[in-house]
Structure 1
């Protein structure tokens, strides 16, 4: 089995990628920005079923600095580059997110190339594919790219320009290094701890009744365990080299449809989930004062449907039904709340 580096192992997708790699028999290294997070990371992985003596090394490296990356990749067969710089407050400019994301990708690719790594799998996002486009009646595919000049949010812009930079690097400076990209839609699934994806935050706010009505937009969703599985397939399958893969389970869902699934599966435990839909004009008005809504204002009223046909056809990927994932997500979040309250 291979020696694999997972960047950002303490994150939601990164931790599930580590579990998938360990379950497949690989030895794993992972990077964290702060070494104090190692005990928390190991506890999360054990919660997910990893043995306490699993073959895992936790290293310190920061995407904004060169230090540590050469050692992190040395001797690795593959790298899953999951990490992406995050901000604790709203960016003052797009460059505040774009520059560290783009520079971080290039930093990891250079280190991987110089160490003789065979393949890097980049965790990109649907945000690099489906944003900034006029309305359309067909699903987005891997041939599409987000229009960064269309007034999109800094996060989507950063994911787009970082992935673009990665493909440009492979073409001009890659040396024999292979690259594949995974572009997940909204990532849901069981939580291993309190650090989880923004898509789960939507489910959390619906469950606790903090949103009075469902916002009007539609996007794809996918189980985090299936995202991890797709990363492993993109890492090992020869057909994945040089390719992008959208990760989505079925068609896109309007938020009101997600709410209906929660009501159907959870019964009275979903009493706080809104049953009505907020008009787009009202949501746009609220977005002027609500930071959570502000990040969604460019997709209000839009359907960002995307197809994962390519991953299923080329790599044999089979995502689980998203209705089951939505229910498991809610159950997991409610259990986490119960644990905190105890």
Structure 2
């Protein structure tokens, strides 16, 4: 047990909340950033669903990725920072700048504040989108941490923002880090138990299936349980072997979305009777993507093999993630239990 203080940015985020749960359970005191004070009670309630009544061991600072205000206060006295706040796929961002600016500038803002405050290490939540997108079919698989997404090809704005933001972070450390350590965790599709109605993009995919979405896009992805993503952040924070390294958070082989649908039907029985195992034709998705921002982002990924390996984290940090099946089924069961589908 420890009484050290840590900062977790973006406290309303799914991964951030599980990182806070892991830290609080390990005895740390946690500070987190939110953009609006009205969200504090919501975050506390979500953590209670996750089994932790944080009380005065959790504090809040108002800060935004696009503004310097609040960040010096947020990092003050913190031994470590877990930085996951970043634009996520909501469908509202219509221009690349809406994604890239906040992601890149936000990383640099947090890293600069952490360096100036004497923080030892920042664990940055990056994404598979910074590793395995934009490569042709002949490029080697599975992807690993040596890979970077190829932005010279057709890459969606979310993946582009994650790639540029992570590269900017590593460049900052090399150029002006002044001894600040950096580790990145690059999750694939993150499932596991939802804590409430404000859930992640990946969980929305499962929710839509359970609600009877009429078919699946022809997209392939690895997956991981959010509890294991949080555990990997914790290991990456304290293990000397993690300094300067990237870690893919993924387990098992990649799955096509129709395989996820089939798993739900097999394991959940009657409650998954509305899950469709039809696959939408690629051309239909491309046409729909001309007027739908969310489907437009899917188009570059149609038929694309996104298989990746998390063996590096298992080997170097002793990470032992749950199976992909448990990640998916526990996600679906939580949505049902919380009355969200």
TM-score by length of 1: 0.95
2:63–2:71 contact (8 Å) kept in structure 1: yes
- Counterpart in 2 of 1:184? 187
CA spacing shift, 1:197–1:89, aligned 2, 3 Å: closer
State yes or no: 1:208 paired with 2:215: no
Which region of structure 1 is more displaced relative to structure 2, 274-283 or 54-63? 274-283
1:160 equivalent to 2:182? Answer no
Correspondence for 1:280: 282
Question: Deviation digits for residues 245-264 of structure 1, max 9, x if unmatched?
Answer: 00001111111111111011
Unaligned runs of 5+ in 2: none
Deviation at 1:54, TM superposition (A): 5.3
1:225-276 per-residue CA deviation (whole Å, 9 max, x = no partner) reads 0000000000000000000000001111111111111011100111111122
Aligned to 1:263: 265
- Distance in structure 1 (CA, Å) of the matches to 2:267 and 2:312: 30
- 1:226 is aligned to 228
Helix, strand or coil for the counterpart of 2:32? Answer: strand
Q: Does residue 143 of the first structure (1) align with residue 173 of the second (2)?
A: no
Using a 3 Å threshold, how does the CA distance of structure 1 residues 80 and 323 change in structure 2: closer, same or farther? same
Cα deviation digits, residues 105-158 of structure 1 (max 9, x gap): 000000000010000000000000111110145201111111122121111111
Q: Distance in 2 between matches of 1:268 and 1:291?
A: 33
Deviations 1:197-220 (CA, angstroms, capped at 9, x unpaired): 11111111111112x222112111
Closer, same or farther: CA 242–17 of 1 in aligned 2, 3 Å: same
Name 1:309's counterpart in structure 2. Answer: 311
The answer for unaligned runs of 5 or more in structure 1 is none
Map residues 6-21 of structure 1 onto 2, 5 A cutoff. Answer: 6-21=8-23
Counterpart pick for 2:64 among 62, 72, 80: 62
**What RMSD, in angstroms, separates the aligned Cα atoms of the two structures?**
1.5
| SS class of match (1:222) | strand
Residue 3 (structure 1) aligned to one of 2, 5, 23: 5
TM-score normalized by the length of structure 2: 0.96
Change (3 A) 1:41 1:289: same
Provide, for residues 156-209 of structure 1, a one-character-per-residue CA deviation record: whole Å limited to 9, x for no partner: 111110000000000000001000000000000111111111111111111111
Q: Which residue of structure 1 lines up, in the alignment, with residue 104 of structure 2?
A: 102
Structure 2: distance between partners of 1:99 and 1:81:
16
The count of residues paired between Structure 1 and Structure 2 equals 338
- SS of alignment partner, residue 296 of structure 1: helix
Report the Cα distance in structure 2 between the residues aligned to 1:213 and 1:88, rounded to whole angstroms.
Answer: 20
